Structure formats: structure tokens, C-alpha cells
Structure 1
């Protein structure tokens, strides 16, 4: 019963976000809601194992990579040579509302 309530709530949110209760939106929202509910119920049934040493190793590794990436960006910005090639990519969006274009 709880799964059904979750699916209904997710479909209502989906249709509210799209702003159009068309059959296509209802069906796509239903498919997405069922997938989300099934996926998260599957995750919950699996036991969670926390390994503190592995988590600490990952945190240190992530911090080093974050600093390394920041230094690479800083060097690229400060260096006198222009290695960055900027540009604009034009993609035509037909039939989209202003709100959807802003979201994209």
C-alpha cells in the first residue's frame, strides 16, 4: 500500500512540474515513478556496510584531487599562453517555452 501511495505522489509531482495532465505525461510519470520506487526499495533491502578506513582513504584522495584540479585551473587562468579555446555552440530549440529553455 505504501508503494502505491509513493507512486501516486510521484506521478502527481511529475504532472505538476510539467503543468499538463496529458496522457503522455501521465504514462511517462507513472513509468518513472514505478522505476524509482522499485529501485529504492531494492536498495533498502541490501545491507549497508560502512568501512571507516576506506571512507577516510576516499576522503583524502578526493581532497587531493580537488586541490590538484583547482591548481590546474589556476595555472591555466594565470599562464600567459592562451591554451583555452572558447566558443559558442548554437542549438535550435523548437517548440519550447521560455521556462523550459531557461531550465535547459
Structure 2
């Protein structure tokens, strides 16, 4: 009789410190999204964001999203500077499209497989993309770590490829801000993965 192959040991339960760390990270992310949605960094928005985050965590408990990385101050600063810059530039571009006479912008649905397939990375990358005008998340595939994004004013394969590279650059900035050493290695070892043929975006 052939012995059964060894199985991986179950994941050890989280310690109390790890549970509190994950809660702090979840609350911080929820408050940041809340403030960005309101568009004003005020004390009232921060307090209301804390209340909403506490209610969501207490009333609607979800499977824990483990935060395996750590905060990198330089990477965090780089992420926020670029994110705010993208907000301004994208808002100006969308305003120009709205008032540009005689121009009908084309759009595309683009599939972008991420390099770090975790719930936290999928969520943060999708939120950051959705908050920038001109792009909207249609679906996130947890099995493959793929985001399907609707993008306005993309009318060529070069534009599709350029947006795909922008999403991967955004993912890299998020990982450099809060990623683990293993996640950083994965992103840096594969800076520009080529998407499979059946996941390539097509302009419409």
C-alpha cells in the first residue's frame, strides 16, 4: 500500500497581536476610502469614517484579510503623491472629453492579471483604479487575480497596452507601500508580465 503524500500543515491561528494589526489596517483603509469618496480631508470626515468602519467590521464581519506585509513610509509617500497626481490629470482629461466638440471617445474593457493574488491587493488596486476618473472595475476574479476594467478614451491596441502597464505600475506602488518582502520580490522579478491571449483587452 502506497503511503499517502504528506499534506501541508494547517495555518496556525492568528495571535491576538496579529488580529489587532489586521483590524487596524482594515480600519485605516476603510477610513481612507471614505475620505476619498467625500473628496474633503476634514476632521468630521475622518470621525464619520471611523464610525462607519467600526460598524462595518462589527455588523458585517467578513473572512479576515491577512495583512502579511508592513508599512513602508517612502513607498507610502510615493503612492499618495502619484495617486493624487493621477486624480488631477484624469479629472482634467475627462473634463476635456466632455466639452470637446465633435469627438466620440471609444472605450475598452481590459483584463489585467495582477502579480500578487491576494484579497488585500485585489481590493486596494481595484479601489485605487475606481477612484480615478475614467476607469471602473467591472469584475475581479479571485482565482486568477485578474481585474476587468472599463476604460474610457481607449481606441487602439497601444492604448490598451499602455493602460495595462499603468495598472501594473499602480500595483507595484501599492506593494512597495505595504507589501511583504516576498510580495516585493515577486513584483520586482516580473515587472512586465505578458497577459495570456484570452485575457487581452479589446477596444470597443
TM bracket, shorter-chain basis: 0.3 to 0.5
Q: What TM-score do you get using the length of structure 1 for normalisation?
A: 0.38
> Relative to total residues, which structure has the larger helix share, 1 or 2?
1
- Per the normalisation by structure 2, the TM-score is 0.20
Q: Specify the structure having the higher radius of gyration (Cα).
A: 1
